[in-house]
Amino acid sequence: MAICLSLEDATFAFDKFLPVLEKVRLEIEAGECFGVFGPAGGGKTTLMKVLAGILRLQSGHRRCHVSKISMAFQRGALFDSLTVFENLAFPLRELKIVPRTQIHERVYASLVEVGLEGCEKKMAVELSGGQQKRLALSRAFITEPDLLLLDDPAAGLDPVTSREMIDLIRRIRKKSLSIVVASSDPVQVLEVSDRVGMFHKGNFVKIGRPSEINSSSQVLDFLRGSPESTND
């Protein structure tokens, strides 16, 4: 299987005495959906930003073998002063992904795909929490990346809206791209991923297929909601 991105002994710290990532080793296979779960504050968002190339490692290596990576941030990072349409058109114009004459067609197709048709003239700030999450995912996906990074895409959503987001990720999975999805909710990543990894205290406790991941005691503790899985 071809590798689209890998980390080798990746170390990153905001404070040199307290590394957030410590000698992380990871390979993302082309075409797979890789899920990351673990306790809040365990370094998942930092890991995603390192994978995206937003944060640079202090040591170790990040090797990328794809040309286009896109990321949907946990808090959306939408442009509140722009309409829904302009939020989606922005990366197409800035990156010159498609000719200007095709922007409208690409944007409207994307709106239909995430169920936001009819919302194009609304300001991003006027959308509900679930709609903002879908818009953020659509903006990340509209550039047709080779690797799509989703940082806690269903965080803060009610169960029904969270299920809609997971179903949307399942539909996107059918397209020919690689996906990494991170969440504090293991159920979400176990449902959509080919392989999963529990990330805790700066590194992976266990990586494997969903059917294999339950063999680790720390994973089992976390899945059961045991405080032992997050305490020192």
Count of domains forming the chain: 1
Structural domain contains residue 64: yes
Which amino acid would we find at residue 137? Answer: L
Q: How many CB atoms lie within 10 A of CB 173?
A: 17
Measured distance CA(20)–CA(126) in Å, rounded:
35
Q: Which two tokens stand for residue 71?
A: 């990321």
Measured distance CA(149)–CA(179) in Å, rounded:
6
Measured distance CA(208)–CA(17) in Å, rounded:
30
Return the axis-axis angle of helices 84-94 and 129-141, rounded to nearest 10°.
Answer: 20
**pLDDT digit of tens for each residue in the chain (232 aa)?**
699 999 999 999 987 667 889 999 999 999 999 999 988 888 999 999 999 999 999 999 999 999 899 998 877 688 888 899 999 999 888 888 888 888 999 999 999 988 899 899 999 889 888 889 889 989 998 988 999 999 988 877 788 888 888 888 888 888 778 999 999 888 888 888 999 999 988 999 889 998 888 766 777 777 776 555 544 3
CB 37 within 8 A of CB 196: yes
H helix runs in 95-144, sequence order: 103-113, 129-141
Sign of CA dihedral 187, 192, 198, 203: negative
Structural domain contains residue 60: yes
The overall longest dimension of the chain from CA atoms, in Å, is: 56
CB 96 within 8 A of CB 165: no
| Residue 180 burial (C-beta neighbours within 10 Å; 0-12, 13-18, 19+) | buried
Measured distance CA(148)–CA(180) in Å, rounded:
6
Q: φ and ψ at 88, to 5 degrees?
A: -80, -35
Structural domain contains residue 113: yes
Residue numbers of the domain that contains 78 = 3-16+30-183
Q: Tell me, what CATH number does 43's domain have?
A: 3.40.50.300
Structural domain contains residue 94: yes
Structural domain contains residue 127: yes
Measured distance CA(205)–CA(154) in Å, rounded:
23
pTM of the model: 0.88
